[in-house]
Amino acid sequence: MTSTKPSAAGKKPTESVPAAALHVGTSDPRTLIMNNLRQSGIFVALVVIVALFAFLTDGLSLSPGNITNIVLQYSYILVLAIGMVIVIIGGHIDLSVGSVVALTGAVSAVVVIRQGHPWWVGVLAALAVGIAVGAWHGFWVAYVGIPAFIVTLAGMLLFRGLTLRVLDNISLSPFPAEYNRIAAGFLNGLIGGDGYDAFTLLIGAIGVAGYVVSCFRTRVARIRYQQPVESFALFVARMTLVGAVVMYFAWQLAHARGLPIVLIILAALVLVYGLLTRRTVFGRQVYAIGGNLSAAMLSGVKVRTVNFWIFVNMGFLSAVAGIIFSSRSNGAQPAAGNMFELDAIAAAFIGGAAVTGGVGTVVGAMVGGLIMAVMSNGMQLMGVDQSLQSVVKGLVLLIAVAFDVYNKRRAGASR
Amino acid sequence: MDDNILEMRRITKTFPGVAALQDVSLAVRRGEIHAICGENGAGKSTLMKVLSGVYPSGSYDGDILLDGEPVHFRGIRDSEHRGVVIIHQELALVPYLSIAENIFLGNEQRGPAGLIDWNRTNAEAAKLLASVGLPENPVTPVVQLGVGKQQLVEIAKAISKKVRLLILDEPTAALNDVDSAHLLDLMRRLRDQGITCIMISHKLNEITSIADSTTVLRDGQTVEHLEMRSGEVTQERIIRGMVGRDLESFYPDRVSSPGEEVLRIEDWSVRHPSQDRLVVDGASLDVRAGEVVGIAGLMGAGRTEFAMSVFGRSYGRDITGRLFMHGKQIRTRSVAEAIRNGIAYATEDRKRFGLNLIEDIRRNISAAGLRRLARFGWVHDNEEIKVAETSRRDMNIKAPSVMSVVGKLSGGNQQKVVLSKWLFTDPDVLILDEPTRGIDVGAKFEIYTIVNRLVAEGKAVIIISSELPELLGMCDRIYTMSAGRITGVLPVAQATQEKLMELMAKDKETVG
């Protein structure tokens, strides 16, 4: 670099004060809805679906025990959806994650159950295998230039086969209690509580407080940089709503078995990956590649490197999901993780990711995953036939993507 | 009275906001080779699309008379039915089908049961190949042929459609000398067989050697009709017709005071990514601080390829040559390295290569210089907003906010976003490829003003443009390229459109 010009990230404007945050902003619902249609649409859909099933099951779906169940049952899909939405934003797809979940779980089971190593060795082995699988996919996609569809389709067969090999075609179980706690354990009773778990409520409250503080700081910064924001009343309303939902959720958990350990893992992953996608150079480059590959290349983005790490990351998260799943099922089966890829892909697309890449969010994928989870769970509670469940899920996916395509076409027309 | 196979009378074709053709008339005699000349954007291709029915009857005004009777083509099939066949510059062959399959595509030779009669298909194809002088087996996949031979397959295909009027759009642009000579020979033979040819070409030496008459278009209007048979019409005469307009005075004034040399490129050569020919051939160029240097050239001259290969090897293979930045040799093995070395390249096709259209202004502006906003890989997103706001103000980008999606902006504002993006990388040399293509006059003026401001700040700017008045209005010096070579460099004071055009049309052999 021959330039000596100071970096633009230097001093901050100081003219406005945080107090102004109380008085500016728009409440115009048209602007707000139009700006966030893609995002807010799925939140609305989630609320409608939750309400629908609460009604259809006479409130059973919102009972403390069932909410806990949903978390335990779908956590690994949500973990996969985090990785999958990043893959999809980059303009790829990963069909192999189900097989990788099986393989990593199997490796962990062999290490812990068959060879008798401590539980954490199994965890590390599974993560290492997941990362290696991701690097394998990344190599073929990024450096050889084979479409991810083909590479991961091959991986789906390949790693399913290796799973059978590793397990010698039989199931392994049970895991030691420590390993089993990862997915089936709870944190409770740490600070007491009468008929409920105070610790769970405390964590919920801390989460809400953290969310409110960070939103307020963003808002203040936006105003300082003279960007449009929503009105303060609306801001308060939004915070209150989110806080109420989270605290209700925590309250229900506290009245069941307490805070599931897997929920803590999931929350940490959502937080980290939410920041990774929005706030890091890597995250931005993923969006840039998916949005316009040629333009990204001509902007100096090292497309191959980024693509490689997208798949390494997917492998890593597949391993996390594999650990959770094997822990939950307390063993490893040759057929584990079958069709998980489709649930993860569906979650990402329902959550607003674009088929052509460049669009999508981690939070969206989580909401998409929850929509699928609440629907499956609700239909199970109602005793709906498996065949019909499949039909409904298929239609929901189709409608969600059709909505996305329609949205894009409309945006295109106004260009 | 002439025996005209074709007459086009007072053709007017408008696109939203622009008149591409205005009262254009064209008369082609039976059995001649008729050349159509004009600068890029003069309306040649549009006229041929009107003729061949790509723009259907009713979407333009005026009459087309074939053999003296009016025709109304609603599509390519109509025009081909009447023996009018167009061969586009980008060949329309299916690469993995055989020569014979390509020739009879859409016109399959069927046997009694409605199935394709392969024996007849291949035998007919072999005959057609012989007639165009292409000694290839008709079952060879087209992908195995070079461009020159593919062109001959296209012509064979046209002959199979009983062509009477063959239109060739830039037929030799992608061909080497041997293939070009072969093609021109074939055109003469076709003429002797009674097939009339219309040929769009930038290569004036070919036109003077082969055409019987020439129509010159400029800015969507017919300028003149030249009889070529006498051999008195020279290339200079055609050039005068092509450029003869005044320099419009919408270029802002600038006091030019070039300083130290910033970038020097020496002996730069680039091979086509898939074909075995040099697209850039030993080109050298230098640019100083506070100087605007232009590169003029016709389509296919290799200007964009030259710039993109310098910018992190974004085009071509077997790239050789030397680069010096402030007198020090540098390398640009990747785009990131080129950016680090202070080079920026704003593409000619901003929608395809320049912008992420589904992303907002802010993130497009930061895309190439994101590292400047980041610490340990962590983007300072409020500073990013500030940078975007500063650009929006300085560049006068008209948008409700920097969070507006770039795809919804007008061409001029998109171009300002592209410029902002590259200025944020703080380059020493800014290469602008067709910086005002497809934007309106007001926005053009703004872009010119921005360029002037940049050079006043000591940046070096290279402008690639197909609009000669733009180069003459903006540059201090103008290089000309033809067939991958630098054919000359003129200080703007000595440059005229005629001189430039002469250098741009200069053929390989005549270059030093």
**ipTM value for the complex:** 0.80
User: Which of A11, A16, A298 would you mutate first to test chain B, the one with the most B CBs within 10 A?
Assistant: A298
Residues 318-337 of A with CB under 8 A from B: none
Beta bridge partners of B222: B217
Contact A281 B379 (CB under 8 A): yes
Element (H, E) at A164: helix A148-167
What average pLDDT score do residues A108-121 get?
94
Which of A 118-137 lie inside 8 A of B, CB atoms? none
How far apart are the CA of B361 and the nearest CA of chain A, in angstroms? Answer: 13
Average pLDDT over residues A105-110: 95
* pLDDT tens, residue by residue, B160-204: 988 999 999 888 877 777 788 888 999 999 999 889 999 998 778
Interchain CB distance below 8 Å, A291 and B387 = no
Those of residues 204-243 in A touching chain B at CB distance below 8 A are 221-222, 224-228
Q: Give per-residue pLDDT as tens, B384-407.
A: 988 999 999 998 888 888 888 898
User: What gap in Å lies between CA B58 and CA B64, rounded to an integer?
Assistant: 12
Tell me B246's DSSP state: P
- The reported pLDDT for the residue numbered A2 is 39
Q: ω before A6 within 30° of 0 (cis)?
A: no
The terminus-to-terminus CA distance of chain A in angstroms comes to 38
Q: What is the pLDDT of residues B436-466, one digit of tens each?
A: 877 766 778 889 999 999 999 999 999 998 8
**Residue-range domain boundaries for chain A:** 68-188+257-365
User: Which of A288, A294, A354 comes nearest B367 by C-beta?
Assistant: A288
Averaged pLDDT of chain B: 87
Give the one of B367, B382, B386 whose C-beta lies nearest to A299's C-beta: B367
Tell me the shortest Cα–Cα distance from B341 to chain A, in angstroms. 5
Residue to mutate among B359, B385, B430, B457, with most A CBs inside 10 A, is B359
Query: Hey, are the CB atoms on B347 and A8 less than 8 Å from each other?
Result: no
H/E segment holding residue B66: strand B61-66
Q: What is the pLDDT of residue A67?
A: 86
Is the pLDDT at B284 greater than 90? The verdict is yes
Of the listed ranges A244-258, B15-29, B197-211, B293-307, the least confidently predicted one is: B15-29
CA distances from B114 to B106, B139, B157 (A): 14, 21, 21
Mutation for A interface: B332, B335, B431, most A CBs within 10 A: B335
CB contact under 8 A, A300 and B335: yes
Residue B212: CB atoms within 10 A of its CB come to 17
- What b/e string do you get for A17-52 counting C-beta neighbours within 10 Å, with b at 16 or more? eeeebeebbeeeeeebeeeebbeebbeebbeebbee
**Domains, chain B, with CATH or none:** 4-243 (3.40.50.300), 260-342+462-506 (3.40.50.300)
Shortest CB distance from A292 goes to which of B339, B342, B357?
B357
pLDDT tens sequence across B314-325: 888 889 999 999
pTM of the complete model: 0.79
Note the pLDDT tens digit of each residue in B109-127. Answer: 888 888 888 888 999 999 9
Q: Which two three-digit tokens encode residue B134?
A: 């292409």
Per-residue pLDDT at A14? 40
- Torsion A345-A346-A347-A351 (CA) sign: positive
Q: Is the CB of A284 less than 8 angstroms away from the CB of B373?
A: no
CA distances in angstroms from B191 to A162, B166, B257, B459, listed in the order given: 68, 10, 55, 54
SS3 of B80, please?
helix
